[in-house]
Structure 1
Amino acid sequence: MAETRLIHGRYRLLEVIGRGGMGEVWRATDESLGRRVAVKCLKPLGPRHDDGVAGVLRERFRREARVAAALQHRGVTVVHDFGEADGTLFLVMELLEGRNLSQLLGDNAHHPLPVHDVVDIAEQVADALAYTHRQGIVHRDLKPANIMRLADGTVKICDFGIARLGDGIGVSSRLTSTGIAMGTPHYMSPEQISGGEVDHRSDLYSLGCVLYEIATGAPPFDQDDTWAILVGHRDTPPEPLRKRRADLPPLFERIVLDLLAKTPEARPADAGDLRRRITGSRAVLPPGPSGYVPLGPIPVPAAPAVPAPRLPAWTRSMTIGRASVRATLPHAALPRDEAATALTGHWTTATAVPPRPQTPPLTPASPVPGTFHTPPSAPAPGVLAAATATPPGLPAAPPPGSPAVPAPVPAVEPELLGVLAGRHGAGLSLGRLGRWAEAADVHRSVAAERERALGPDHPDTLNSRYEHAFALSRAGRSADALRAFGHVAESRARVLGPDHPDTLRARQETAYVLGRLGRHAEAHPVYAEVLAARERVMGAEHPDTLRCRHNLAFTLGRLGRLEESYRMAYEVAAARARLFGPGHPDTLATLYEVAHTLGRLDRWADALGTYQQVADARARALGPDHPDTLAARYEAGICLGRLGRGREALELYRALAAARTRAQGPDDPETLRARHGLGVNLGRLGRWEEALAEAREVTAIRARVLGPDHPDTLVSGREVAVCLGWLGRWSEALDRYRQVAAARERAFGPDHPDTLASRNDEAQCLEQLGRHAEAVELYRRVAASRRRPPAGG
């Protein structure tokens, strides 16, 4: 393409700013919107490349467009557009002002980056990978050249050209029949090299290679030929980072070596688990930027003396180039009978990472659940035991006010620890399936056995106790969960310190459970203290800090402090939009809370607009029939009714009831909520016979599904009475009001607001029947009950 050429009628190409294996990237201007963009074009291959190779590369380019366009995260490059002009495929992306990690290393004469920068980059990349993996996407070519650091410190993953959409089990990394290799040798996982099954843990291995390089100045296997690199990935334990760079924290070294485990099962469970561990490692960073001085040449392990097993066919024409700067892969086709073959020989597993004396294997942590007001569910694994063990020659007692130093871990059979780690993982899997009661039993049993084997304050024991508490909470056993979280928070504060991320997670879950129990006044100071600690340790806009502020805003609303709740939720929504993007689920969850508070402030028009914004964004991201989309639409219907727009509300609820029936079935509680709203708005339009029929049917189904005294059943029963009253059938209405009042009194007590509201309805009905004396007496009783202070108040 010629310079300054206008393509697609709007993108003016100005200058080439990068070239790679698949194409070239131009600095360009979007003349329709007046913004600067980057345009990636697929290079023509020329006459020496056959049509099969061209087809594969074009499909990879299209895949990059589809994959990248579906991602919306602060740590992933934003894609604006995709198309084809004059036979050339192009991809329009945000223009990133910064340097990729390969360039940063080159700028630094291939000396490693400062420790604080390494940890910050690791944390941001892990967060972005956690997001992409949750979308079912595996990058498969993570390397320094594909990770950008912008001028403001933001880190972004680029180039999803060979990414694959996962199917929840694993994706094949086998090469195409053309023999085009997928990946870059210095950063390829062992299973990717062998042509085996690849999942998200392959990305974690590649990230470990990247972190190793930016932390030490060279990748873990920096040999001079393809065979040595591939065998290094396959058979050679990576040299510990601190042998190359002594000022790296031991805890961070442990994280990187765990990422470089030879088998996927031995690596961290997922990128969310990894991010939590990296965040926890910040607590042991030295103050201020690192003043690292290179330690000299890096020793290269000797090549094995045994005959080399046969490598995959595609490695014959592979050139390694310079590590992190230029590692090229072949584009020429290979014969079909020489497609990728697995490496032969024994795979090294037990010796992949030197064992840690008396330290149990890491256990996976549960993912952050997607519930609306829920803090993260799992702490980082128990990796601090080694970091906090007392070195020889130092006093065993910690300084005053510092976390306690755990006692030495007794020698434990590795087989037992492995069995317990597997059972812990099984408990997490049960939780992911929503089988919380079973998960709670598993975690309780594992916690008891870990306590016997490792001690009550060992991080893995506390990890299991945390998961037990979390499962109890989600199983509806809130009182038991509260006690369990309290124990974990107290122990972690003693062992790890009051401001450690794991301690704060346990305290935040304690506050969450207090809210579930309706004890918002007690939850409030806990949230406030955790928030202050998170802001102090992590910063005001760290995702965990924002999650805590979200929960605190929710609690303020339940305490009736609506203006404070609104302001805080609005600020959190704006911060999450900056951090994650306006369509991110966390951003929309907080906007949902903003809308709820606006409604309680009687600002129904503003609430309606916000709910509609949330519903539209969720429909685009999740689909129109997703439960979260439908929940926002339901609330928009309430706003329409409050604004007197009953006809619009009626149509919305009719469509909503149909969507809920398709998605969840006719007897689902959410389907019945939509039908209840439909009946209410029929009444608002004066269609009382239809409203009565709808209310009776919904009441009958709710009584069957939820029980006759369930609050939702009673709400529908009251709606039947309302319809009977408007139809002038006051005797029948009185009977129905009395039934509802009696049921509420049994369930809630005689002075509960809902019970008193039902007694008030009963009095109004008596008035309509001309029974004024009875009505007056009932009004007096209701007024006296409302004046009485609450029990125990």
Structure 2
Amino acid sequence: MADTRLIQSRYRLLDLIGRGGMGEVWRARDESLGRLVAVKCLKPMGPQHDQAFTRILRERFRREARVAASLQHRGVTVVHDFGEHEGVLYLVMELLDGQNLSQLLEENEQRPLPVDHVVDIAEQVADALGYTHRQGIVHRDLKPANIMRLTDGTVKICDFGIARLGRDIGMSSRLTTTGIAMGTPHYMSPEQIGGKEVDHRSDLYSLGCVLYEIATGVPPFDLADAWAILVGHRDTRPEPPRTHRAELPGFFDRVVLDLLAKAPDERPADAGDLRRRIVLGRSGEQPVPGAGVVRREPERLASGPAGSGRMDAELPFWARKMTSGHQANGSQGPALPDPAAGLTRRWTTAASTAAPRPPLTDGSTGVPPARSAPAPASDRLTALAGRHSEGVDLGRLGRWEEAGEVHRAVAAERESLLGPDHPDTLASRHEVGLTLSRTGRAADALRAFGQVAAGRERLLGPDHPQTLGAREQTAYVLGQLGRHFEAHQVYAAVLAGRERSMGPDHPDTLRCRHNLALNLGRLGRTEESWQLARQVADDRARLLGATHPDTLATRYEVAYTLGRLGRWAEALETYQDIAGARAATLGADHPDTLAARYEAGISLGRLGRSAEALELYRALVADRTRVGGPTDPETLRARHGLGVNLGRMGHWEEALTEARGVCGIREEALGPDHPDTVISRREVAVALGWLGRWSDALTAYREVAEARGRALGPDHPETLAARNDEAHCLDRLGREDEAAELYRTLAAHRAQNALPPQR
């Protein structure tokens, strides 16, 4: 973008102000209005993000930018415009002349700011938050880097709404299910850390952390490990600010401690109440006790400096003996992938050579650089964080075997350094489970996810999002193993936990209901599966929109269950709607669009509209070949559908040629006993029978029966069905005695296994 120098023929980029984890900020001139502005260019999407993810991010950007642009207050940065230019999202803001609080602290060599400045900043930020909270908007990532003090003394909050996009840009969607809400460890509220819903009082807690740091020079929990910082916020009482700096006013000490209350109900009722207390305190008046806040005397810690042995004793048992990571430094920028910091880090080529940050949980990046040289253990943790990210990237590329080797090695080393129940160890174990599941080792994956779920339950409780996430993975793996009743029980329990902790409309709750509907279908409870999938589709459409990928995924299941119920006309209509919506939002060549077209072809065939199905599959084979190549599994599936419909149209020679071609490729790629290979071989046998080549058909059906017997067992219904086809061939060849003997054998098998007779 910098090369063009002009965005949308209006904003001319002049000077690069800064770079950071989210993108670049430029000083620019608005050519239309002749004024100087700041243009924030968001970090471009990398190849790891698919089209659906990028589309959703663009939608969120536009929504969040509108939120930011709607705010009109002297204490909030003004957003003038936003849009997209050459694939890069940009935001046009007022150009501010000043420094953020992190920069002020750093410039002051990490010494606290003057007391009168601190109190003035507190009052101005409280006034701005009062306005934004009345608009129903919560910042969720308030920190020194997001608060600017201009040269004239005006204080402004930056990056409302846009801050939340940084997490999506910096991490894969899978890594956003960690349960740790958006935020930076030094400034996160206890409810954010617990993965709970947050409201305006979470911003008040974060403001308390900011005020504590600019007033004392250190954050309230200045511990040496990211997880210990989070535990401090959740479980440990902060030292009163005046223990660090006696000159602070008594009212300010009480205000900050009230802001840092663990329970939201014990904080000031709102930012307006907070501002009134500050104004009264500055004037020397005493606030009315109990006005908007539950009064309590702050209890001073018996320990010395934060991080001492007594502080460690205050932490939960599972946080003790943790290996220290890099010590946090609020002035150095954010700890999580930063969407809104002072933009001091590169995201260009130079960034790729920087050492990765230690992980917080499930692959999230850890705390900022140390003030002093890290200990060797910290270096090892940093290196392990990088290797963890490499493993995640390998999985994203579909290289699951390699990813599994990386994650197993990282998990073992993290366990030796941090212990088996440390969040980072469990994050690696979770990734190990994913790689096992993706490589067909479902039983091993089940054990891995079971261990992770048990560890997270000990750490975080049974209803924490991370615990529930691991348990939901166990249900998925149980389904892979064919243990659908057990999977149903786990899904139902996880759903109850998600509804308790997140509410019925949370995306994770809806995803669990979606999975529960799928599993009901696997149990043969098709009517219930259809009803639940339809409800989830309606809820997702209401919350996310009718064309959101998640909504369409559930509608896809609705269509599938309609087919299972024999309601093929409705299934066809639904699949066609889905294919059209996916083509419009994801693109005509997106795998999900092509999958919906394939299912529409099946519905056409079931409705006897084979000519239309044949036309559809010819086009689909061409598109699949162009997108994935001639040997791609989905190309072969489309060719299989083409062959089936050639047969239905009576074109048996062409059907035989198609079936043999697909079977040969599948056998070479997958092996002779793979289910897809066996299905293709059966289509060869069917075509041979219709062509009257019964001897060849007999050979093919016997190969099918033998392969199914090896894979499924001699008494499996599919094995018996193939042997029934074998008996039919014998009958057509005039070998009645052999056919009769085989029919008697099959009847005995069915009687023994209480199977219904073959039709």
Q: For the superposition of Structure 1 and Structure 2, which TM-score range results when normalised by the shorter chain?
A: 0.5 to 0.7
The residue type paired with residue 53 of structure 1 is: E
1:56 Cα deviation after fit: 11
Deviations 1:6-50 (A, max 9, x none): xxxxxxxxxxxxxxxx9xxxxxxxxxxxxxxxxxxxxxxxxxxxx
Alignment of 1:54-69 (within 5 A): 54=32
Taking only aligned residues, the RMSD between alpha carbons, in angstroms, comes to 5.1
| Cα separation, 2, equivalents of 1:302 and 1:389 | 23
For 1:146, the equivalent position in structure 2 comes to 69
Question: Which among 208, 214, 231 is matched to residue 385 of structure 1?
Answer: 231
Is residue 606 of structure 2 the alignment partner of residue 703 of structure 1?
A: no
1:552 Cα deviation after fit: 0.6
Question: Contact 2:318–2:422 (CA<8 Å) still a contact in 1?
Answer: no
1:455 Cα deviation after fit: 2.2
Is residue 515 of structure 2 the alignment partner of residue 551 of structure 1?
A: yes
Aligned pair count reads 548
Is residue 273 of structure 2 the alignment partner of residue 407 of structure 1?
A: no
Is residue 87 of structure 2 the alignment partner of residue 161 of structure 1?
A: no
For 1:603, the equivalent position in structure 2 comes to 567
Question: Which among 477, 482, 490 is matched to residue 446 of structure 2?
Answer: 482
Is residue 575 of structure 2 the alignment partner of residue 662 of structure 1?
A: no
| Cα separation, 2, equivalents of 1:711 and 1:214 | 50
| Cα separation, 2, equivalents of 1:517 and 1:158 | 53
The residue type paired with residue 707 of structure 2 is: A
Is residue 684 of structure 2 the alignment partner of residue 720 of structure 1?
A: yes
For 1:360, the equivalent position in structure 2 comes to 226
Question: Contact 2:212–2:218 (CA<8 Å) still a contact in 1?
Answer: no
Gaps of 5+ in 2: 1-9, 11-28, 46-51, 73-77, 103-127, 183-190, 238-300, 304-309, 326-374
Question: Which among 149, 155, 158 is matched to residue 223 of structure 1?
Answer: 149
1:492 Cα deviation after fit: 0.7
For 1:196, the equivalent position in structure 2 comes to none
| Cα separation, 2, equivalents of 1:661 and 1:56 | 53
Deviations 1:214-246 (A, max 9, x none): 89899953534279979x99xxxx9xxxxxxxx
Change (3 A) 1:223 1:271: farther
Is residue 653 of structure 2 the alignment partner of residue 689 of structure 1?
A: yes
For 1:744, the equivalent position in structure 2 comes to 708
1:424 Cα deviation after fit: 2.1
For 1:458, the equivalent position in structure 2 comes to 422
Question: Contact 2:101–2:145 (CA<8 Å) still a contact in 1?
Answer: no
SS in 2 for 1:565: helix
| Cα separation, 1, equivalents of 2:170 and 2:642 | 49
Q: Report the more deviating stretch, 763-772 or 509-518.
A: 763-772
| Cα separation, 2, equivalents of 1:141 and 1:533 | 30
The residue type paired with residue 545 of structure 1 is: T
| Cα separation, 2, equivalents of 1:522 and 1:615 | 33
Is residue 189 of structure 2 the alignment partner of residue 278 of structure 1?
A: no
Change (3 A) 1:704 1:628: same
Is residue 688 of structure 2 the alignment partner of residue 767 of structure 1?
A: no
The residue type paired with residue 595 of structure 2 is: A
TM-score (norm. length: structure 2): 0.62
Alignment of 1:203-602 (within 5 A): 220-225=146-151, 269=171, 276-278=179-181, 281=192, 283=194, 356-360=222-226, 384-389=230-235, 406-411=319-324, 413=375, 414-602=378-566
| Cα separation, 2, equivalents of 1:287 and 1:620 | 35
Change (3 A) 1:607 1:190: farther
Q: Report the more deviating stretch, 688-697 or 139-148.
A: 139-148
Change (3 A) 1:544 1:685: same
The residue type paired with residue 277 of structure 1 is: I
Question: Contact 2:499–2:509 (CA<8 Å) still a contact in 1?
Answer: yes
For 2:31, the equivalent position in structure 1 comes to 53
| Cα separation, 1, equivalents of 2:139 and 2:622 | 55
| Cα separation, 1, equivalents of 2:172 and 2:85 | 17
1:431 Cα deviation after fit: 2.1
1:638 Cα deviation after fit: 0.9
The residue type paired with residue 407 of structure 1 is: R
Q: Report the more deviating stretch, 132-141 or 459-468.
A: 132-141
1:607 Cα deviation after fit: 0.9
Deviations 1:115-163 (A, max 9, x none): xxxxxxxxxxxxx9x87674598679959643689xxxxxxx9986244
For 2:3, the equivalent position in structure 1 comes to none
Question: Contact 1:630–1:656 (CA<8 Å) still a contact in 2?
Answer: yes
1:554 Cα deviation after fit: 0.5
Change (3 A) 1:655 1:144: closer
Change (3 A) 1:577 1:772: same
For 1:17, the equivalent position in structure 2 comes to none
The residue type paired with residue 613 of structure 1 is: D
SS in 2 for 1:223: strand
Deviations 1:363-410 (A, max 9, x none): xxxxxxxxxxxxxxxxxxx97433455555799999xxxx97543524
TM-score (norm. length: structure 1): 0.60
Question: Contact 1:212–1:220 (CA<8 Å) still a contact in 2?
Answer: no
Change (3 A) 1:141 1:612: closer
Question: Contact 2:196–2:502 (CA<8 Å) still a contact in 1?
Answer: no
Question: Contact 2:138–2:200 (CA<8 Å) still a contact in 1?
Answer: no
Is residue 640 of structure 2 the alignment partner of residue 676 of structure 1?
A: yes
The structure with the largest helix share of the pair is 2
Deviations 1:640-687 (A, max 9, x none): 111111111111111111111111111112111111111111111112
The residue type paired with residue 69 of structure 2 is: N
Same amino acid, percent of matched pairs: 52
1:291 Cα deviation after fit: 12
The residue type paired with residue 357 of structure 1 is: L
1:721 Cα deviation after fit: 1.6
SS in 2 for 1:506: helix
| Cα separation, 2, equivalents of 1:635 and 1:143 | 38
| Cα separation, 1, equivalents of 2:670 and 2:149 | 67
1:624 Cα deviation after fit: 1.8
Question: Contact 2:695–2:733 (CA<8 Å) still a contact in 1?
Answer: yes
Change (3 A) 1:774 1:488: same
1:286 Cα deviation after fit: 11
Change (3 A) 1:502 1:286: closer
Change (3 A) 1:54 1:692: same
Change (3 A) 1:742 1:529: same
Change (3 A) 1:288 1:423: closer
Question: Contact 1:360–1:417 (CA<8 Å) still a contact in 2?
Answer: no
Question: Contact 1:410–1:454 (CA<8 Å) still a contact in 2?
Answer: yes
1:278 Cα deviation after fit: 2.0
SS in 1 for 2:602: helix
Deviations 1:408-434 (A, max 9, x none): 524463333322222222222222222
Deviations 1:558-582 (A, max 9, x none): 0101011000111111111111111
SS in 2 for 1:277: coil
| Cα separation, 2, equivalents of 1:354 and 1:643 | 68
| Cα separation, 2, equivalents of 1:383 and 1:738 | 66
| Cα separation, 2, equivalents of 1:277 and 1:491 | 16
The residue type paired with residue 161 of structure 1 is: F
